[in-house]
Amino acid sequence: MSQETAGSGPENTQAPPRHFIHEIVASHVQSGRYAGRVGTRFPPEPNGYLHIGHAKSICLNFGLAREFGGTCNLRMDDTNPAREEVEYVESIIQDVNWLIQGWADPFLNLKQAGTSSGIGLLAKDKGNRTLEPFYASDYFGQIYDFALELIRKGKAYICDLSPEDTERYRGTPDRPGQDSPFRDRSVEENVDLFQRMKAGEFVDGARTLRAKIDMSSPNIWLRDPVLYRIRHVEHHHTGKAWCVYPMYDFAHCLSDYIEGITHSICTLEFEVHRPLYDWILESLSLPRELPKQYEFARLSLGYTLMSKRKLLQLVQEKTVIGWDDPRMPTISGLRRRGYTPESIRHFCELIGVTKYNGLTDMSLLEFAVREDLNKKSHRAMAVLHPIKVIIDNYPEGEVEWLEAVNNPEDPAAGHRKVPFSKEIYIERDDFMELPAKKFYRLFPGNEVRLRYAYILKCVSMEKDSEGNLLALRATLDPDSKSGGATAGRKIKATIHWVSAPHATRAEVRLYDRLFTVEEPDAADGGGYASHLNPKSLEVLSQCVLEPSLASASPGQRFQFERLGYFCADTKDSTPGAPVFNRTATLRDGWVKEQHKTV
């Protein structure tokens, strides 16, 4: 184990997560299989942005490498050029680095740039070496040679069946398929045709290379699966070098073998592919110990989607502003929303790794961020729905700068000064003309404490001709300032406030779940589009913040006291004109109390 190289933090002192895959790997290490070495990989297809489900896989694969002193390769699983783009490659690199930085980055295995056959994309610099991720497309030459070996061994053949006929011949799950009429071509003819496929002599779909296994197998994936197809499409990484591309099943196991992967971990839907994974590797004359595939259940989260295809649709149809919309379950969306990598990693630890297809509660993700942000974020006062309070017995023009604690969870965070004056804003919800049961904030005649300031009493209301509340008039107890003579008086509620003349105006964006039903994806649900939450985004443009927030830098996180955790938007916020995203609310006992009486 080489945990000492993995930085510090709770993850380094706690026991690593235990689960069935962990046990398998641990037993292999113990028994000296693969010479005690552990090599995993995270193999996304660059056809979309990474989401929280990928984070689970990243944590699993990198966590194993980290614990056993192995390596985890970042590999683009890019065998289908029609759907893949460099933009996605770039986002994947960024998201993986962001997620594992300070935790498992020493175990991230990249390769030296320039050794690939394609158009290199630079990942990052480490020392003097320029590194880039692995690409399955870098192995197209080797994979092609392996295909030739299979053909020469009589284990693969060129099939001229049309896509429709291929499907027909395959049969159905409960009915065996039939042999292709081209199944018994000679090795020479197969080699010749395969070479001519590669040379570009045939149009898309004209022929395929197929494994010769068993058309009557109960496992569909063993019914002579297609290994290579013709696609006259330019590839984002290999350019125009190829017009035949290997299928996932053929490329993946071989990529694993080529990279020296020991444990190839994927999701449950590939379980039925495992016999094919093994068949391909065992059919070739491969000298080294073969990698093995293990499957776990992918993550499903309530009230959101995890399918890249559907997330892409939300982006394309402009339902959201982009892949990094803070409502998206993407890593970039969560990052923009204000989630920390630590909180996402902790979440992945909390959910565990099993073969059970469950539905995880959003509350667990929220718990993970709150827990992390509570420890780390500076507090500040912000009023989202302001109502003015004029303090009758406070001198006009006077300003006091009161001391406020930056983070009660972290004494080292220090203090700051917040200005107080005759006119302040408080939260509209902190006042009720006719107090509800158990409401102990401000109402006519009642006292509340103003955080870090005085005890305030509401004496009257100012309304317009239609009876709308315009402002409150109040008096304060001059001796009750924090630290003052009567400061110790027991007052049930403390509320936050912002001095009106000093307030910074800001836009604040409140986010809610994207969908109104727990499983927007459900087959019988009428389509996820019909379950979009119209209130998933609420933009508040008239918020008032304490002046220290005016200079917030993009990405900076705060707890707005009594409201929640907020993060200055990385795209739209500028010092002087801040825009904040709400990461998560604080738990709110008052909201629960209200639900009881309703």
Partner RNA sequence: UGCCCGAUGGUGUAACGGUAGCACAGCAGACUCUGAAUCUGCUUGUCAUGGUUCAAAUCCAUGUCGGGCAGCCA
Catalytic residue list: 45, 298, 308
DSSP-assigned letters across all residues of 169-186: HH-BTTB-----TTTT--
Tokens for 342, please give them.
Answer: 């630590």
Query: Which of 117, 130, 178, 219 is the binder for RNA (CB under 7 A)?
Result: 219
List the interface residues with RNA, window 545-564 (CB under 7 A). 559, 561-562
Least distance in angstroms from the C-beta of 220 to RNA = 4
For RNA, the binding residue among 2, 18, 201, 577 (CB under 7 A) is 18
β-strand partners of 75: 134
Among 66, 481, 509, 531, binds RNA (CB under 7 A): 481
Interaction residues for RNA, span 578-597 (CB under 7 A):
586-590, 592-593, 596
Using the rule CB under 7 A, give the single segment among 325-333, 488-496, 525-533, 534-542 that binds RNA: 488-496
Nearer CB in complex with RNA: 233/537: 233
Structure tokens at 150: 């299979």
For residue 454, the minimal CB distance to RNA (Å) is 8
Beta bridge partners of 267: 296
- Taking CB under 7 A as the criterion, the residue among 191, 461, 487, 517 binding RNA is 487
The whole-angstrom separation of Cα 497 and Cα 237 is 55
Residue from 26, 191, 297, 469 in contact with RNA (CB under 7 A): 297
Q: Does 24 bind RNA (CB under 7 A)?
A: no
Q: For 151-260, where are the E strands, in sequence order?
A: 156-159, 208-211, 226-230, 244-246
Within its chain, how far is the Cα of 489 from the centroid? 47
Residue spans of alpha helices (H) in 216-301: 248-259, 274-283
Indicate the residue among 45 and 179 with the shorter CB distance to RNA: 45
Question: At its nearest, how many Å lie between RNA and the CB of residue 170?
Answer: 4
Stretch that binds RNA, among 112-120, 185-193, 270-278, 386-394 (CB under 7 A): 270-278
- Under rule CB under 7 A, which residues in 237-266 are in contact with RNA? 245, 247-249, 251-252
The footprint of RNA on residues 126-155 (CB under 7 A) is none
Shortest Å distance, C-beta 574 to RNA: 26
Looking at beta carbons only, is 293 or 332 nearer to RNA? Answer: 293
Q: Name which of 230 and 290 has its Cβ closer to RNA.
A: 230
**Whole-angstrom distance, CA of residue 113 vs CA of residue 97:** 17
Instruction: Compute how many other C-beta atoms are within 10 angstroms of the C-beta atom of residue 167.
Output: 12
Residue 492 C-beta: closest distance to RNA, Å: 8
Cβ-based nearer residue to RNA, 315 or 584 = 584
**Beta pairing class for 39-42 and 71-76:** parallel
Contacts with RNA in 94-113 (CB under 7 A)?
Answer: none
Which of the ranges 382-390, 415-423, 434-442, 505-513 carries the binding residues for RNA, by CB under 7 A?
A: 434-442
Phi and psi dihedrals of 374, rounded to 5?
-60, -40
Kindly identify the residues of this chain, within the stretch 55-94, that bind RNA according to CB under 7 A: 77, 79-80, 83
Is 313 a binder of RNA (CB under 7 A)? Answer: no
Q: Pick from 38, 158, 161, 193: which binds RNA (CB under 7 A)?
A: 161
The distance of closest approach from Cβ of residue 211 to RNA in the complex, given in angstroms and rounded to an integer, is 11
Hey, how many other C-beta atoms are within 10 angstroms of the C-beta on 331?
28
Nearer to RNA, 34 or 245 (CB): 245
Give the bridge partners for 69, in sequence order. Answer: none
In the region spanning residues 347 to 376, those forming contacts with RNA, defined by CB under 7 A, are 350-361, 363-364, 367, 370-371, 374
Minimum distance of RNA from residue 308's CB (angstroms): 9
Residues near RNA (CB under 7 A), total: 98
**Residue closer to RNA (CB basis): 95 or 105:** 95
Q: Which residue, among 135, 136, 122, 58, has the nearest Cα to 96 in the 3D structure?
A: 58
For 356-394, the DSSP string reads ----B-HHHHHHHHHHHHHHHPEEE-EESSEEEEEETTS
Site string for RNA, 440-459 (x = CB under 7 A): xx-------x-xxx------
- Is residue 417 helix, strand or coil? strand
Q: How many CB atoms lie within 10 A of CB 586?
A: 15
Q: Which residue shows structure tokens 């780390």?
A: 376
Of 221, 279, 420, 515, the one binding RNA by CB under 7 A: 221
Among 131, 191, 226, 469, binds RNA (CB under 7 A): 226
CA–CA dist 421, 474 (Å, integer): 13
Q: Please, are residues 76 and 134 in contact by the beta-carbon 8 Å criterion?
A: yes
Q: List the interface residues with RNA, window 500-539 (CB under 7 A).
A: 523
**Between 270 and 325, CB nearer to RNA:** 270
Sheet holding 579-585, edge to edge: 378-380, 557-560, 564-568, 579-585, 504-511, 537-545, 382-383
- Is residue 174 a contact residue for RNA (CB under 7 A)? yes
Binders in 388-407 for RNA, by CB under 7 A: 407
Is the CB of 6 or the CB of 212 nearer to RNA?
212
If the CB atoms of residues 370 and 509 are measured against RNA, the closer one turns out to be 370
What does each C-alpha distance from 369 to 364, 365, 481, 559 come to in angstroms? 9, 7, 34, 12
- Joined together, the tokens standing for residue 465 give 């001709």
Angle at alpha carbon of residue 248, lines to 246 and 250, rounded to 5°: 60
Q: Is 106 left (phi over 0), alpha (psi -120 to 50) or beta?
A: alpha
Which of 229, 327, 416, 582 is close enough to bind RNA by CB under 7 A?
A: 229
Residue 313: CB minimum distance to RNA, A: 14
Beta bridge partners of 210: 157, 226
Distance CA 202, CA 206 (A): 6
Pairing, β 263-267 against β 111-112: unpaired
Measured distance CA(518)–CA(298) in Å, rounded: 17
Q: Is the CB of 6 or the CB of 198 nearer to RNA?
A: 198
Part of the chain binding RNA (CB under 7 A), chosen from 14-22, 28-36, 107-115, 466-474:
14-22
The reply to whether 483 sits near RNA by the rule CB under 7 A is: yes
173, 223 contact by CB (below 8 A): no
Smallest gap from Cβ 334 to RNA, in A, equals: 17
Report the nearest approach of RNA to the CB of residue 470 (Å). 23
Q: Map the footprint of RNA across residues 180-209, applying CB under 7 A.
A: 204-208
Q: Does 409 bind RNA (CB under 7 A)?
A: yes
Please report which helix (H) or strand (E) contains residue 544, including its range.
Answer: strand 537-545
Of 45, 14, 94, the residue nearest 349 (C-alpha): 14
User: Structure tokens of 303?
Assistant: 């009230």
